[in-house]
């Protein structure tokens, strides 16, 4: 690997579009409280974590998903909310990054990726399978060689930034595969569970969870655990961005 950044030290990534993001390389089991402070989050913030993708979607479904992503980004900007995702130039991560950049939004957008799978300006990785998205504001680069090595950090950092849900913290699943399914499992079965909004009709993992949740029937252990312990709410893709926004607004209502 070329130009491997030092561990636990904040550094800048300057993209060709002249956007500069703050980044830090950390071990998989690094303390998320330390990381959030290093990134400049000295207070607690409401946060949305987005997991999944856009694989095997029809053009129509991609258009519907894009409109939903735009609504989520608008909500985050209005509510001064942090968004956290996988940070790469693909699928819904590209959609949310492009929306932030194109609209000139200022909400923090944190990408968490495995160091061994990504490249970015100044870091040429011969084993890269994805580039970092160029409108994210922050990156946490987890030492790992496999997709999914970043999953625990995404969930743990979500908890840390929200003050362990002292501020609202919500997960959104769109489409997704095995890694997204595992992230939902981590989010819904930990002691301080995160509520999840699942985009029904978006395909793959989201539809598997939706079907299991509606019917109460599944042979998969991971799905049984998710629906048994999770705070799951379904929103149909065809219901559009306003339905997702209403679910978010409900979750972000001040605690009485």
Q: How many separate domains does the chain show?
A: 1
Match 């084993």 to its residue by tokens.
127
Range of the domain at 31: 11-251
Determine how many CB atoms are found less than 10 A away from the CB of residue 256: 3
- Burial grade of 29 (CB within 10 A; 0-12, 13-18, 19 or more): exposed
Is residue 3, in this structure, part of any structural domain at all?
no
Which sign, positive or negative, has the C-alpha torsion 234, 237, 241, 242? Answer: negative
**Quick one: DSSP state of residue 30?**
-
Q: Are 181 and 57 in contact (CB under 8 A)?
A: no
pLDDT of residue 118: 97
- β-pairing, 196-200 vs 138-142, is unpaired
Is residue 4, in this structure, part of any structural domain at all?
no
Six token digits for residue 176: 């997704």
Q: Are 48 and 173 in contact (CB under 8 A)?
A: no
pLDDT of residue 198: 97
Is residue 208, in this structure, part of any structural domain at all?
yes
161: domain CATH number is 3.40.50.450
Q: What is the pLDDT along the chain (256 residues), one digit of tens a residue?
A: 467 899 999 999 999 999 999 999 999 999 999 999 999 999 999 999 999 998 888 888 899 999 999 999 999 999 999 999 999 999 999 999 999 999 999 999 999 999 999 999 999 999 999 999 999 999 999 999 999 999 999 999 999 999 999 999 999 999 999 999 999 999 998 777 999 999 999 999 999 999 999 999 999 999 999 998 779 999 999 999 999 999 999 999 876 5
pLDDT of residue 256: 55
Three-state DSSP at 235 gives strand
User: What does the alpha-carbon distance between residue 125 and residue 250 come to, in Å, rounded to a whole number?
Assistant: 43
Which sign, positive or negative, has the C-alpha torsion 78, 83, 88, 93? Answer: negative
Query: Which of 71, 119, 120 minimizes the C-alpha distance to 96?
Result: 71
pLDDT of residue 1: 45
pLDDT of residue 28: 97
Is residue 5, in this structure, part of any structural domain at all?
no
Is residue 174, in this structure, part of any structural domain at all?
yes
Is residue 160, in this structure, part of any structural domain at all?
yes
Is residue 6, in this structure, part of any structural domain at all?
no
pLDDT of residue 15: 98
**E strand or H helix that includes residue 98:** helix 91-103
Is residue 31, in this structure, part of any structural domain at all?
yes
């Amino acid at each position: 690997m070329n130009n491997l950044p030092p561990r636990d030290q904040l550094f800048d990534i300057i993209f060709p579009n002249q956007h500069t993001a703050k980044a830090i390389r950390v071990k998989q089991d690094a303390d998320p409280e330390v990381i959030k402070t290093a990134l400049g989050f000295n207070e607690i913030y409401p946060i949305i974590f987005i997991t999944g993708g856009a694989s095997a979607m029809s053009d129509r479904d991609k258009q519907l998903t894009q409109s939903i992503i735009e609504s989520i980004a608008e909500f985050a900007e209005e509510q001064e909310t942090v968004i956290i995702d996988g940070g790469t130039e693909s699928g819904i991560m590209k959609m949310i990054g492009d929306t932030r950049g194109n609209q000139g939004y200022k909400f923090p957008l944190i990408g968490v990726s495995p160091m061994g799978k990504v490249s970015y300006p100044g870091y040429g990785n011969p084993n890269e399978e994805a580039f970092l998205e160029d409108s994210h504001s922050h990156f946490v680069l987890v030492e790992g060689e496999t997709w999914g090595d970043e999953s625990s950090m995404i969930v743990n950092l979500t908890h840390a930034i929200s003050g362990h849900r002292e501020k609202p913290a919500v997960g959104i699943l769109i489409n997704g595969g095995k890694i997204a399914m595992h992230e939902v499992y981590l989010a819904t079965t930990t002691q301080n569970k995160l509520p999840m909004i699942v985009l029904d009709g978006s395909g793959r993992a989201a539809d598997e969870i939706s079907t299991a949740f509606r019917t109460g029937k599944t042979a998969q252990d991971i799905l049984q655990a998710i629906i048994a312990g999770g705070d799951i709410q379904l929103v149909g893709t065809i219901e559009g961005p306003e339905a997702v926004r209403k679910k978010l607004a409900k979750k972000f209502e001040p605690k009485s």
